[in-house]
């Protein structure tokens, strides 16, 4: 298939690589053209405008950092809303608020266009290795027509149904559970360190028993080694995710008390100048609060 791709940060670049390796022709656009060099070397076709990327192929992906960025790409003069043909498909792969996905669904529908929400599950390196997941929701005929694209990117897809909001809710809830797990690990590591336990021993106890899964192994290792750079998921984006979860809960009357702790640990890390560290750095903020070096 031919497909456009807008937003070539670490995640977008990893997804584009998977598409090219899967035999698809990808037209790429990024505000910072410097980020396209490696992808062009792999065979990606550079596009000069959002409109060109939008009409390069049978659909166009966006992988953008936040609500403001995706709304700008959609609504600006020459953006997706103005450029996509009738029946054109926007595959929104970023992590966005429920409210923004609801708004995008309405905007595209009013313009005779289609929104598929397809947030990724996994860090960029997991996407690169072909082990990531995707949550798909939107017009089912359009989802099926784009299936080869999703198959090229992800090991498994999860079907959220016809309403794109379902994908947003699932991704937000998944990030909520993961973020709270990392925050709780930070508390656990601080507790054992206060009793002079070597962190690696606690890590082995966790990951050889009830918590023998990738979330605890990957993030537990980062915390054990205090290795917070380079970031897989930056703390500042983790903070965005925490706020998305609390906003989504508040909108439907679901209290998320653990989410407040998760958010506050990230706020502490950002306040200490660690916004570009991996979001596991919230364990370092917990250590500071515990009187540890």
CA–CA dist 218, 251 (Å, integer): 32
CA–CA dist 9, 253 (Å, integer): 34
H/E segment holding residue 114: strand 114-117
Q: How many CB atoms lie under 10 A from the CB of residue 253?
A: 6
β-pairing verdict for 120-121 and 133-138: antiparallel
CA–CA dist 195, 46 (Å, integer): 56
Q: Is 2 a catalytic residue?
A: no
Instruction: Exactly one of 171, 217, 221, 240 is catalytic; name it.
Output: 171
Longest dimension (CA), the chain: 64
CA–CA dist 46, 57 (Å, integer): 13
Which 3-state string (H, E, C) describes 133-183?
Answer: EEEEEECHHHHHHCHHHHHHHCCEEEEEECCHHHHHHHHHHHHHHHHHHHH
Query: What residues act catalytically?
Result: 171
């Amino acid at each position: 298939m031919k497909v456009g791709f807008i937003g070539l940060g670490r995640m977008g670049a990893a997804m584009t690589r998977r598409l090219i390796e899967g035999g698809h022709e990808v037209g790429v656009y990024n505000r910072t053209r410097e980020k396209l060099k490696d992808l062009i070397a792999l065979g990606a076709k550079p596009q000069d405008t959002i409109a060109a990327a939008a009409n390069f192929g049978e659909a166009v992906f966006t992988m953008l950092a936040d609500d403001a960025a995706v709304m700008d790409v959609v609504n600006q003069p020459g953006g997706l809303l103005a450029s996509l043909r009738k029946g054109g498909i926007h595959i929104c792969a970023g992590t966005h608020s429920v409210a923004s996905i609801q708004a995008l669904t309405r905007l595209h529908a009013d313009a005779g266009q289609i929104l598929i929400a397809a947030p990724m599950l996994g860090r960029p390196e997991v996407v690169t290795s072909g082990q990531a997941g995707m949550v798909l929701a939107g017009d089912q005929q359009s989802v099926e027509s784009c299936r080869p694209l999703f198959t090229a990117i992800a090991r498994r897809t999860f079907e959220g149904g016809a309403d794109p909001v379902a994908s947003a809710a699932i991704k937000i809830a998944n990030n909520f559970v993961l973020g709270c797990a990392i925050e709780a690990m930070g508390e656990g590591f601080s507790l054992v360190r206060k009793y002079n336990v070597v962190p690696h021993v606690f890590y082995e106890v966790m990951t050889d028993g009830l918590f023998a899964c990738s979330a605890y192994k990957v993030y537990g290792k980062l915390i054990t080694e205090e290795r917070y750079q380079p970031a897989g998921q930056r703390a500042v984006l983790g903070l965005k995710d925490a706020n998305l979860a609390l906003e989504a809960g508040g909108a439907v009357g679901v209290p998320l008390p653990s989410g407040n702790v998760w958010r506050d640990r990230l706020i502490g890390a950002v306040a200490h100048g660690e916004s570009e560290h991996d979001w596991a750095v919230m364990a370092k903020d917990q250590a500071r609060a515990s009187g540890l070096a």
